[in-house]
Each structure stands twice: as C-alpha cells, then as structure tokens.
Structure 1
Amino acid sequence: MTEQVADAYQFPWYLYFTILSIFLGACWGSFLNVCIYRIPRGIPTHKPARSYCPHCEKQIPGTLNIPLVSYIMLGGKCKFCKGNISVRYFLVESLTAILFLLVWMKFSPDGSPRSFGLHPVTDVYVIPVYWLALFGLILGTFVDLEHYIIPDRVTIGGIIAGVVLSLLTPSLHDASTMLEGLKCSLIGGSLGFFLLWGVSIFGKMAFKKDAMGFGDVKLLGAIGAFLGWKAVLFNILASSLIGTVVGVAMILLGKKEMGSRIPFGPFIAAAALLWILWGPTWWEAYMNLMLPPLP
C-alpha cells in the first residue's frame, strides 16, 4: 500500500473523499439530467451552455442550478414561469450521488470487508472507472424508460471506453498486465454482444416479433467490455429475473397489459449495478457452494 493511498484511507482523509464522492455524484447527476433531456431530442449537450426551463425556455442562472438544493428551495417549480419541473431531476441527482458514494465505499487498500457487504476494491483507480460506467448506465436507463432507445453514446461509446480503460486499468478485471486486461475486456464485450444477440434472434423466431431492441444487445456488450465475462453471465440471469418480477408486478397493478412493451435496458443496467457493488462476492459464494474446495 502506497503512502498516498494509506493516507486517503485514514480519517479525516477518508471522510474528505467520502464527501467529495457525494458532491461529484450530485454534480454529474445534474449533467446527466441535461444529457437525458437533450440527447434523444437531438439537442447538443454543450449548446446552449446553461440549462433552461423546458416550459418558458429561460436560461437558469448558476445560483438557481445547484444540484439537489435548488430543486428543494424552488419547490420543484421554475422561478420564472412557475411551471412544474419533473421530479426526475431531483431523483437522478440523488441517485447518482448515492451510487458514487457506494462505489467509493468499496475502496479497501488491504482488501478487508466493506460496509453493506460491498465487494472490496484495492486499486483506487478502479473507482473513477466505475463512476464512468454508472454515468452511462443511468443515462441509458432514463432515456430508455422515456423514449425506448439507448443512445449509441452509451452503447458503442461504452464498448470503446470499456476496452480502452481495461487496457489502462487492468485491475478492473483483477488482471496484472495491460494485455491481460485488454483480453478480459474483449472476451467480455464479445460474449455480452453475441450472447444477447443470439437470444434476440431466437426470441424473434419464437414469438414472430422483436424480443428486444438492438440497443440492449450493444449495452450488454459495453457492460462486458467494462466488467468482464462473469458479469455478462450474471447479468443475463439477474436482468431476466428483475424484468420478470417488475413485469408481473406491473400487470397485477394494472399498469401494463400482457404483451405490452417494456424497455429491457433498465433491467440490464440494474443487474450491472448489482455486479459492480456485490457481484464478485456473490459469484465466489455461488462457486464455493456449487464446487466446494477439496479437503
């Protein structure tokens, strides 16, 4: 353990980085709201530079665009036209702040157990990589929920970013060399893409209609590139289970009818999130149960 990492793990430095992770999460959540609104509408994320009210289109000054705080102070309404601002803005900022915090809490230089059973991460450089992956997962989820599409910036961009960052940060795959990290990423990305593509083709043949969108296929490819082949297998099982539970619940509650269209991307993203936080620990426990070590 380097001296810098050891210092960062000690109080008050650990507390400082904990607060910083929440702050960064809220700020990136604010930018996520910009992306969620603009990207599917073909509006550049950088122009206009400032956020604006979707009702009166007046630009929002910086003093009224403080993540989390401004929404509460303004009561979820535009200061100028008093139009309602979707609660999604507050939800995304809160969610991103919480998830950034949980990912930071995984950091454990000596590999000791973490709070809430989080799988420990010994390399601090993996943390920002996970943050970037979360950014893409949240963006893809909320766009898919509203527009039934997953932007190529998330999927294709995620595949490219996953491969490059695996090369630069091989510990993302518990690899010791850059070449090994690259190999793990390529295997994971290929497995995720072609496995779900095969499921999609089979579903179309069986049900005579598209079982899922091609964006879902590319999204699992991106997840495999970031997290590896084990995460892909976990994701196939977990996303199907989550999707089944949610789908049945929505039908029973009268929110959807049998055969209604439900975006699958959010379930893939939720399964990827579970893997980032707890997946490797669950995988090890399952393998030990199925294949107990020899005495």
Structure 2
Amino acid sequence: MPIGKSLPSVRPVSTGRAGGVQPTPPPEPRVRGAARRAAGGRRAELLAPFVLVAPAVLILVLLRLWPLLLGVNFSFTGDGERDGAAVGFDNYVDLFHDPLFRGALRNVGLLVLLLPVAVAIPGIIATFIYLRVPGHRFYRSVYFFPAVLSPVIVGAIFNLLLSFDGPVNSVLGAVGIGPVDWLGDPDVAMFAVVGVHIWATFGMALVVFLAGFATLDGTLLDAARVDGASLGQVIRHVIIPSLTRTIQFVFVTTMIGMLTSMFGLLYVMTTGGPEGSTYLPEYYIWIQQGQMNRPALASAASTVLFVIMLVVGLLQLKLLRRSGKVD
C-alpha cells in the first residue's frame, strides 16, 4: 500500500462472551412508546363517532324502539274477559269496523292534504322577513310568539273567539256574512281546529326556515335581481332549490306535529265532536286507553298510527325527490 494513504475506518464488531456476533439491540423504549401511542390514537379516532352516538342510540332503543315493540306485541292480546290472551288480528278488525276510528283516518287524509299549506305559510313569511320588508324585526317576534303558548291556553282563547256569538262572527256579521258555527258544525270544526294548530305552531317552522336562509348564497339573489327576475321567479328558481334540505325537514316535522301534537287543542276546543268529526288517531287512543279501559285496542291504534306516519313520510320524500326538491 502506498505510503501516506490512510486505511479505511472499520467499525469493530462487538462480540459476546462466547466470541460470536452480538445481535442488534432492540429499539429504545421511547420509540416503542411513541408507536403504541400513535396506534392508540388511531383506534380512539375510529371509535370516537361510535362513543358519541352511543348515548343517543341507547335512549332511542330504550325509550322508543323497545316500547314500540312492546306495544305492537300487546296489540295482539285481548281486553276485558280476554285480558292477556292472544287474539291475533281481532283488535285491528275491531278498529276498522269502528266508525270513530274510520273518521279519524279520514281526518288524517285531510291533514295530509293541508300539509303543503302548513309548510308554505311559514316559508312565505320567512322569505319576506329575509328580504327585509319594513318592520321585519317586529314581525319575526310576533309570529314566533304563539309557539311559546300552551295548547290549552290557545284552545281556550280560540274557544272564545270562535264561539257562535264571539268576536269573529261579529266581524263577519258587520260585513254582511252570516254567523258560522265554527266548532259546532261537523263540516267546519276540523278545519277550524287545524287552522288554529297551524297558527299556534308555525313559529317553529319559521325559525327553521330563517336558519336555512342564513346558508343561502346572497350572490344568487343579486344575480336574479340584475337579470330582472320577479319575486315569484326568485322564489321558484333561487330560494326553493337552495332550501331543499330545509323544506324536507319542515315537511317531515310538520307532518309529525299535525298527527301527534293536536291532542291538547282537540280536548279543549271540541273534545272530539261534534259527532266525532274532529277525532284523530291520538285522541282515539286516549279515549280507548283512558276512558274505555281497552289498552290492547289502544295499542293496535298506536301501531296503525305509526305505520301511517311511516308511509306518509316515505311518500313525501319520494314525491320531493321526483319534483327535484331533494337530492
């Protein structure tokens, strides 16, 4: 080897006691701990959604699904002398032979037909509030006020207003229209109760619509105004397509409210009359359970009401999808 040229450095191989090559030492504890923490963090990230949803699912199962299943099972048992005995579909046969229950189902059909009106009213009012018509802040407070009133209070107020010799008929008489028996005429009473319910509850739908308007892109409205679009065209081509999810939510919640939250008004204003013309399934259920002591028949009526709500809700979503209002 030429002089002056250094030898390459060689790292000495450590040997054990027997003179063999010593194995590579394991990773340091700090590295292993970091790997375990990273794996644990990934597992926690995957499990976090399930942990957060678990309480709500547990509540739904224990307080909704389980009682529903018990009610369906109970609807196939008997009342009175056959208390607890399996009776098959006898309760359902009795239901559909009861003229009061058939009338309640006809009223459900009426509610479904009036549902678009119940949704359109708060939607139109929310549109005018969003467009900042003069006095919109005052109107927002006034329109929401009925939503905080108890149905019992609302029913008592409108009992006075709609009585045969009440203020409403006095106003009608002043303009040359004869008095209307709002709560005593079987052909009018249900419309009167539904109208009062819409007045008392549309404040919540109004708030939902206003929340939906908060997500609306204002540049779309500006572009429509620049193009000379009328108010109707703006509502049809800009506002409705932009609020599809909000409209879907309001449709479903309003339907549920009309089918399950009118008991207070019915009890105070008409008690199901006149001639059973204002019966709804929920009122029929209360009569059978609380006054007639027929809990199995009431369970059958509850099951029918659940099926009706499920079918009507699915049909609404299907119609909204076909009309292009829901993705």
TM-score (normalizing by structure 2):
0.25
TM-score (normalizing by structure 1):
0.27
Higher relative contact order (CA 8 A, sep 6+): 2
